[in-house]
C-alpha cells in the first residue's frame, strides 16, 4: 500500500533561516509524482512544487526546492530565507499512475516562523 510519512509534527524556525521539511514515501509503482502543499490558518490549500519520479533534476519554484532522493524514497521540501508568512501547515502528497491517479497526503508538518 502506498504511504506518505512526515515525521515532524511541528517546527520552529527563525525568520530568514532556511528550513527543511521531511517527507518519505513508499510505493511499488515506478511512475509516480510528489506534491507539496501549504495550508495557512485560513484553510485554503496552496500548491507549492511538484517532482515526478522520472525527473532528472530536483524541482525548484522560487524560494521552494525539493531535495529528491529516489533511492531513499524521500522528497524533502526546502524553503530558503523563511518569512513570517511561511507559517502554516505543509503537506506532502503522492500520486501513483498505476492507481488511476489516486493521491494521498501525509499527516503534515506545522511550521512556525519566529520573528
Among candidate residues 8, 18, 14, 10, the one with its CA nearest the CA of residue 113: 14
Using CB under 8 A, which of 28, 44, 62, 85 touches other proteins?
A: 44
Question: Rule CB under 8 A: which of 51-80 touch other proteins?
Answer: 52
- How many Å apart are CA 105 and CA 115, to the nearest integer? 30
Question: Segment near other proteins (CB under 8 A), from 14-22, 64-72, 74-82, 101-109?
Answer: 101-109
Coil vs helix vs strand at 64: strand
- How many Å apart are CA 71 and CA 52, to the nearest integer? 14
Using CB under 8 A, which of 50, 58, 67, 73 touches other proteins?
A: 50
Which parts of this chain interact with other proteins (CB under 8 A)? 1, 33, 35, 37, 43-45, 47, 50, 52, 89, 91, 93, 97, 100-108, 110
Amino acid at each position: 500500500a502506498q504511504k506518505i510519512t512526515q515525521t515532524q509534527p511541528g517546527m520552529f524556525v527563525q525568520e530568514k533561516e532556511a528550513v527543511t521539511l521531511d517527507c518519505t514515501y513508499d510505493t511499488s509503482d515506478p511512475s509516480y509524482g510528489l506534491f507539496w502543499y501549504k495550508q495557512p490558518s485560513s484553510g485554503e490549500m496552496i500548491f507549492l512544487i511538484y517532482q515526478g519520479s522520472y525527473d532528472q533534476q530536483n524541482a525548484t519554484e522560487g524560494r521552494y526546492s525539493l531535495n529528491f532522493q529516489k533511492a531513499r524514497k524521500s522528497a524533502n521540501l526546502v524553503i530558503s530565507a523563511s518569512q513570517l508568512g511561511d507559517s502554516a501547515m505543509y503537506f506532502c502528497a503522492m500520486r501513483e499512475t498505476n492507481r488511476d491517479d489516486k493521491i494521498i497526503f501525509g499527516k503534515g508538518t506545522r511550521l512556525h516562523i519566529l520573528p
